[in-house]
Amino acid sequence: MKPDRGTMPDMFSGLDEEAKAKAQEIMEQERAGTITREEAQAQLAELGVEFPQKGGMQ
């Protein structure tokens, strides 16, 4: 089951409030089509967001 879009994903849990706000803004820009997914991921990585690996062990 996917988390609701309105809730903040766990990947933001280690961020301070300012970084969380910036991360939310980046996610909104991606949803609006202002930036690409790759640009959003790069910007989020700069904030310290760690992305879960897809596909698990292969």
SS (H, E, C) 12-27: HCCCCHHHHHHHHHHH
Query: Tens digits of per-residue pLDDT, 1-10?
Result: 455 555 544 6
Two structure tokens written together for 19: 């970084």
pTM: 0.69
Query: Tens digits of per-residue pLDDT, 3-53?
Result: 555 554 467 788 889 999 999 999 999 999 999 999 999 999 999 888 776
**Hey, what long-range contacts does 18-22 have (CB within 8 A, 24 or more apart)?**
19/47, 19/48, 22/47
